[in-house]
Amino acid sequence: MLQKPRGTRDFLPEEMERRRLIEGRMRSTARAWGYREVCTPIFEHLELFTMKSGEGIIQEMYVFEDKGGRELTLRPEITAAVLRMYVNEAKVLPKPLRWCYFADCFRYERPQKGRYRQFWQFGVELIGADTAAADAEAIMLSDAVLRAAGVRFDLHVGHLAPMKHLVRDLPAEEQRAIMAFLDKHNIAGLEERLTEKGQHDLLESLVALTSCRTPAEVFAVTGDLPERARIEETFAILDAQHIAYTPDFGIARGLDYYTGMVFEAFAPNLGAENQILGGGTYRLAHLFGGDDAASCGFAIGFDRVMVSLGEFPVEHEPVVGVVCTPEARIRAFEVAAAFRDAGIRTEVDLMQRGLGAQLSHVAKVADYAVVLGKREAESGTVTLKNLHSGEQQEMTLADAVSEVNRLGHR
């Protein structure tokens, strides 16, 4: 028996209904903020991602050569593809562009709980606005989307300028090493590395920075920075809108990628792999032949959101099962069509079972049975049976449709 590929999943109807419900809430929230959905190809030229992240990312991707000898890859994330699309298709559109997406991505890595080789992301990209207000909007929207999904989360907000200022005199390789320690919250490893190099003052400043909880505390460590006014304005907007967040200037999302404000969200019930959102300000368009457009955005790990939410009941629309005797089989399709035209999910027996077997089956999958026997066939009526209460009544087809709509969800 063939199995699904490692790191992938099958979703049965109940789980798909839960996923579509949460996905729909995310989309509706983003749309209320003016963000419109975009879609990019499931595969792209390999160069799109190596230009952004370097050759090292190749081992984490599904890379292949097509029949024309072109190096392609299944997309490992969406941001680069969206900015490529902006350069190709949308440079002249009015700014800022407010775009969102929901799409599956692919990474070749060891599967574990909440981490798969095929996974889904919901994301937002705000292109062409280089202001504190834009930074704040991205953070506030991320908060709104996660709240709409119903997940419990802790939001952390920081800015890279203070950290970049402290490590500005170090070689790029050393900066990356320090950022790797901070990104993994490995303060012990950072202390060991910097102590070995005799960089005690830098260590003290970095440790102090990671514990700062207000912009004022940050600037007491770093002194004034050119970005000070923007940082203070961003935090002021968040505070004025009563956004619940933790200032965290120890966030070290890639220095080569993000340019300023950064933020992350964590689901406390997920254990070690608990990050469900990451974002910040960045500049990518120029790498792909476009202008140096300021951008800001975030991506949500949709699969981790669903793991965090766990199983929960979904309110179903009423389901009708039409059961019939042989002489009413043709009319059964007419009756089913009337319910479907009213927006009611309706099933008709396709197995040519007896009336009792049909009723037994319908009781497992539907809320109402519409019975068509000899009497109903002769009179042009139907018998509507509520499968939860057991009540049943003979009536016209139009009245049966109205009754199901009136009673609504189960």
The model's pLDDT over 235-255, given as tens digits with 9 standing for 90+, comes to 999 999 999 999 999 888 665
Mean pLDDT of the region 385-407 = 94
pLDDT grade, residue 382 (50/70/90)? Answer: very high
- Least reliable range by pLDDT among 64-73, 265-274, 340-349: 265-274
Enumerate helices (H) and strands (E) in the chain, giving the number of each. Answer: 15, 16
> For the residues 282-287, what does the mean pLDDT come to?
89
pLDDT in tens, 118-166: 999 999 999 999 999 999 999 999 999 999 999 999 999 999 999 989 9
Mean pLDDT of the region 259-274: 93
pLDDT band at 225, cuts 50/70/90? very high
Looking from the CA of 346 toward its CB, the CA atoms found within 13 Å total 23
Residue type, 72: L
Beta bridge partners of 383: 371, 394
How much is the average pLDDT of 288-295? 90
What is 319-407's CATH number? 3.40.50.800
Percent with pLDDT over 70 in the chain? 98
Please name the residue that has the structure tokens 């709980």: 113
Among 299, 293, 300, 27, smallest CA distance to 134 is for: 293
Give the pLDDT band of residue 262 (cuts 50, 70, 90).
Answer: very high
Q: What is the mean pLDDT of residues 373-385?
A: 92
253 is in an annotated binding site: yes
Query: Any binding-site annotation on 258?
Result: yes
107 annotated as a binding-site residue? yes
- Number of neighbours of residue 243 by Cβ within 10 angstroms: 17
Angle among Cα 222, 168, 231 to the nearest 5 degrees reads 45
175 band by pLDDT with thresholds 50, 70 and 90: confident
Strand 36-37 to 97-106 pairing: parallel
Enumerate the domain spans of the chain: 9-153+267-314, 156-244, 319-407
79 is in an annotated binding site: yes
pLDDT digits (tens, 9 = 90+) for 63-99: 999 999 999 999 999 999 999 999 999 999 999 999 9
Query: What mean pLDDT, rounded, does the chain reach?
Result: 93
Does residue 410 register a pLDDT over 50?
no
CATH class as words, domain 9-153+267-314: alpha beta
